Amino acid sequence: MTDPGATRHLKNRPLTLNPVLEAGGAYPLLALDERRHRLEERGATLFDFGAGDPREPTAPLIRRALREAVPEVSQYPSAVGKARLREAFCGWAARRHGVALDPASEVLPATGSKEAIFHAPLAFVHPSHGRRGVAYGTPGYPVYERGTLFAGGEALPVKLTEKDGFLLPPEAVDPDRTRILWINYPHNPTGAPATYAYLETVAEFCREHDILLFSDECYNEIYSGGQPPSVLEVTKERTLAFCSLSKRSGMTGYRSAMMAGDPELVAALKKLRPTIGVATPSFVQDAAAAAWDDDVHVEERRRTFGKKRDLFVGFFRRTGLSFRPTDASFYLWVEVPETFAGDDEAYALRLMEEGIVVAPGRAFGPGGEGYIRVALVPAVEECRKAIELWEKLRAEGEA
C-alpha cells in the first residue's frame, strides 16, 4: 500500500529539468501571445502584427492536392521524403535561382523550417568537440541559439547594426571557436536583404576557415523589388540552405520545409532525422510538391504583401516614425518614438491597449531594444483600420 506521506513528499519535490530549458525561460513571443489571448477573452478587437503568421488563404491547388492525397490507410512516411517532392523542389530551385540540385543526394524535407533549424546542430556539434561554436546574428530568430544550446554547442551571437545594413560581418566571427555560421536574409526581424556579393564574401570566409555555412532563406520568395539571392547560387560546398513553404505559399500550418546543399551534410542529416522521428505526412508532401511546382500563386501573394507594405510605409513617412526601408520579407523594423525613451516593450504595450499587436524588438535578442517589428499578416483592409488607430494615437502624441 502506498504511503500517503511519501506521495505528498514527492509532489513537493522540485522537478529537475534540462539546464538549458531552465535557463532559457519561455519562448520570447509567448508572453506577447498570452497577453493577446487575455485581451481577446475580454472581447477586444485586435489587429495582430506580432507573430509572422499570414492570413491570406492557401491557394486552392494546394488544398486540392492535399485532399486528393489523403489515403485510406495511413502509414509512416519516409524521413527522406517522396521523390516527387524532392524533384518538385529541385525544379523550383532551377527556375528561381538557376541552381541544379540532385534530388537524391542534395535535398531533404523537414517538418517546417523551425524544427529543421533547431535540430540541424545535433548532427554537427557535440560537447566533446574542440570547436563547437555556432555563430548567428542578433537581433534574430531565437531558434539559432536554442538549437545550439540543446545540442551542447557554444552560442556565439554577433550583434547586427543599422550601420552595416544588419548584415552579419564575417570578421566579427571567431574562426577558432566557430563550427557553424547561420545567416538569414531577407532578415527576420529587420527585413534587411543580402546582396550576391555579400553572400560571396561570407562563403569565402567560411571556406577559408572550414566553417559550415547554414542559410535560413524562409523569406526569399517575399519581395517587391529585385529577387533575393540564395547562398546556393554562390556555393554548395559545406553549405546548406533552409527553405520553407510557410510564407511562400501560405502553408504555416502544413509544416513543410526543405534543406538543400552539400551532399555530405545532407547525408549526415539523413542519419540524424530517423532518430528524431520527424517526417512530413505523405499527403502534406503531395500538397508541398504542388506548391513548389507552381509560381503563379506566389506572385499574387507578393502583390498582396506589397500593398500592405506600401500602406505602412506611407503612414510612417506621414507621421515621422523612423523605420528601416525594405522591399523584402513581410517585416518592418520600426524605431520606438522618443516619447517612449526607446522602451520597445512599453511602446508595444501601449499599442496593444488600442488593439494593435506588434513584437517588441528585445524579443529577438540583444540589439533589438528600441525597435518594434511589424509583421504584415492581417488582411489589407485590417491594415488600413489599424493604421487609422495608430495615426490617431500619433496625432494625440501618445504613440
Q: Structural domain of residue 95, as residue ranges?
A: 72-294
Q: What gap in Å lies between CA 160 and CA 136, rounded to an integer?
A: 10
In the numeric block, which cell numbers belong to residue 116?
529543421
Q: Are residues 290 and 309 in the same domain?
A: no
Residue 102 lies in a domain: yes
Q: What gap in Å lies between CA 165 and CA 152, rounded to an integer?
A: 31
Residue 191: left (phi > 0), alpha (psi -120 to 50), or beta? left
Q: Which residue shows C-alpha cell 485590417?
A: 382
CB 171 within 8 A of CB 378: no
**Helix or strand run (H / E) with residue 242:** strand 239-244
- Among the candidates 269, 294, 319, a domain finishes at 294
**Helix or strand run (H / E) with residue 92:** helix 83-97
pLDDT of residue 11: 63
Residue 331 lies in a domain: yes
Q: Are residues 90 and 223 in the same domain?
A: yes
pLDDT of residue 52: 86
- Count of domains for the chain: 2
Residue 3 lies in a domain: no
Q: What gap in Å lies between CA 363 and CA 366, rounded to an integer?
A: 9
Q: Are residues 96 and 236 in the same domain?
A: yes
Residue 66 lies in a domain: no
Q: Are residues 42 and 182 in the same domain?
A: no
- Among the candidates 294, 329, 345, a domain finishes at 294
Residue 289 lies in a domain: yes
CB 332 within 8 A of CB 323: yes
Number of Cβ within a 10 Å radius of residue 128: 7
Q: Are residues 246 and 318 in the same domain?
A: no
Amino acid, single-letter form, for residue 371 = Y
Q: Are residues 188 and 311 in the same domain?
A: no
Residue 63 lies in a domain: no
Amino acid, single-letter form, for residue 302 = R
Q: What gap in Å lies between CA 335 and CA 103, rounded to an integer?
A: 43
Q: What is the CA radius of gyration of the chain?
A: 22
Separation in Å, CA 352 to CA 35, 343, 399: 9, 14, 11
Q: Which residue shows C-alpha cell 526581424?
A: 189
Residue 4 lies in a domain: no
Contacting residues for 62 by C-beta, under 8 A, at least 6 apart: 249, 251, 287, 290, 291, 297
Q: Are residues 270 and 208 in the same domain?
A: yes
CATH code at 168?
Answer: 3.40.640.10
pLDDT of residue 317: 97
- CA angle at 212 for the pair 253 and 364, rounded to the nearest 5°: 50
In the numeric block, which cell numbers belong to residue 368?
533589438
Q: Are residues 167 and 313 in the same domain?
A: no
Q: Are residues 236 and 135 in the same domain?
A: yes
CB 291 within 8 A of CB 248: yes
Amino acid, single-letter form, for residue 163 = K
Residue 354 lies in a domain: yes
CB 120 within 8 A of CB 269: yes
With 0-12 / 13-18 / 19 or more C-beta atoms within 10 angstroms meaning exposed / middle / buried, residue 155 is middle
- Among the candidates 273, 294, 315, a domain finishes at 294
Q: What gap in Å lies between CA 129 and CA 145, rounded to an integer?
A: 18
Q: Are residues 162 and 305 in the same domain?
A: no
Q: What is the pLDDT along the chain (399 residues), one digit of tens a residue?
A: 556 555 565 567 888 888 888 887 665 556 667 777 888 888 889 999 998 888 899 999 999 999 999 999 999 999 999 999 999 999 999 999 999 999 999 999 999 999 999 999 999 999 999 999 999 999 999 999 999 999 999 999 999 999 999 999 999 999 999 999 999 999 999 999 999 999 999 999 999 999 999 999 999 999 998 999 999 999 999 999 999 999 999 999 999 999 999 999 999 999 999 998 777 899 999 999 999 999 999 999 999 999 999 999 999 999 999 999 999 999 999 999 999 999 999 999 899 989 999 999 999 999 999 999 999 999 999 999 999 999 999 998 888
**Helix or strand run (H / E) with residue 28:** none
Amino acid, single-letter form, for residue 256 = S
In the numeric block, which cell numbers belong to residue 267?
547525408
Q: Are residues 84 and 17 in the same domain?
A: no
CATH code at 43?
Answer: 3.90.1150.10
Q: Are residues 172 and 277 in the same domain?
A: yes
